[in-house]
Chain A
Amino acid sequence: MSPELGRFALSLACVFALAQTILPLIGAQRRDRRLMTLAPGLALGQLVALAASFLCLVNAAITNDFSVSNILENSAVAKPLLYKITGVWGNHEGSILLWAMILGICGAAVAAFGRNLPSALKARVLAVLGGVAAGFELFCLTTSDPFDRVWPAPLDGQGMNPLLQDPGLAFHPPILYTGYVGFAVPFAFAIAALIEGRVDAAWGRWVRPWAVAAWAFLTCGIALGSWWSYYVLGWGGYWFWDPVENASLIPWLSGTALMHSAVVVEKREALKIWTVLLAIGTFSFSLSGTFLVRSGILNSVHAFAQDPARGIFILGLLGLVIGGSLVLFAWRAPALTAGGLFAPVSREGALVLNNILLCSLCAVVLTGTMYPPFMSLLFGKTISVGKPFFDAATIPLAIPLFAFMGFGPMLPWKRAQLWPVLRRLWVAALITLVAFGINLWGLSGVLPVLCATFAVWVIASSATDIASRIALFRVPLSQSLQRARSLPRSAFGAALAHAGVGVTVLGLAAMSQAQHRIVEVHVGQTERLAGYDWTLTGVKTEPGPNYTAMVATIEIRHNGHIVTVMHPSKRSFNSQNQTTTEVSIHTNGLSDLYGVIGDRHGPAANPTYVLRLHYNPLAPWMWFGALIMAMGGALSLSDRRMRVGAPRRAPLPDAVAAE
Chain B
Amino acid sequence: MSDELASRPSADERRAVTRRRLMMGLPLAGAGVCGIAFWKMLAGMQSGSFNPHDINAPVTGRPVPVFTLADQTPGTGFSAEDLRALSKPVLINFFASWCIPCIAEMQALLSLQKRLPIWGVAYKDKPENAAGLLKHAGNPYARIGSDREGRVAIDWGVSGVPESFLIAPGGTIVWHSAAGLDGDEVMAGLDNVLKRIGA
Contacts and interface: CB of A to CB of B under 8 A. Distances in A.
Contacts of B27: 277, 280-281, 326, 329-330
Most buried by A among B53, B54, B56: B53
B28 A330 contact: yes
Contacts of B20: 334
A598 B100 CA distance: 8
Nearest to B51: A376
Contacts of A333: 24
Contacts of B103: 520, 599, 601, 610
Interface bin, chain A: 35 or more
A308 B55 CA distance: 19
Interface string A592-610: 0000001101000000101
Nearest to A297: B41
Given A377-B37, A377-B41, A610-B100, A382 B54 contact: yes
Interface stretch (A156-164, A207-215, A314-322, A453-461): A314-322
Nearest to A383: B159
Interface string A287-302: 0000110011111000
B35 interface: yes
A518 B46 contact: no
B11 interface: no
A396 B32 CA distance: 30
B115 interface: no
Contacts of B56: 382
Contacts of B137: 601
A296 B40 CA distance: 13
Interface in B18-52: 20-21, 24-25, 27-28, 31-32, 34-35, 37-42, 44-46, 50, 52
B9 interface: no
A299 B45 contact: no
B24 A329 contact: yes
B104 interface: yes
A296 B35 contact: no
Contacts of B53: 296, 299
Contacts of A601: 103, 136-137
A374 interface: yes
A284 B41 contact: no
B35 A376 contact: no
Nearest to A291: B38
Nearest to A322: B31
A373 B52 contact: yes
A377 B44 contact: yes
Interface of A: 273, 277, 280-281, 284, 291-292, 295-299, 308-309, 311-312, 315, 318-319, 322-323, 326-327, 329-330, 333-334, 370, 372-374, 376-377, 381-382, 384, 518, 520, 598-599, 601, 608, 610, 612
- What 10 A-B pairs come out closest when comparing CB atoms? A326-B28, A330-B25, A308-B45, A334-B20, A333-B24, A330-B24, A308-B46, A311-B42, A330-B28, A308-B42
6 contacts: A281-B27, A295-B42, A296-B45, A315-B35, A381-B58, A599-B100
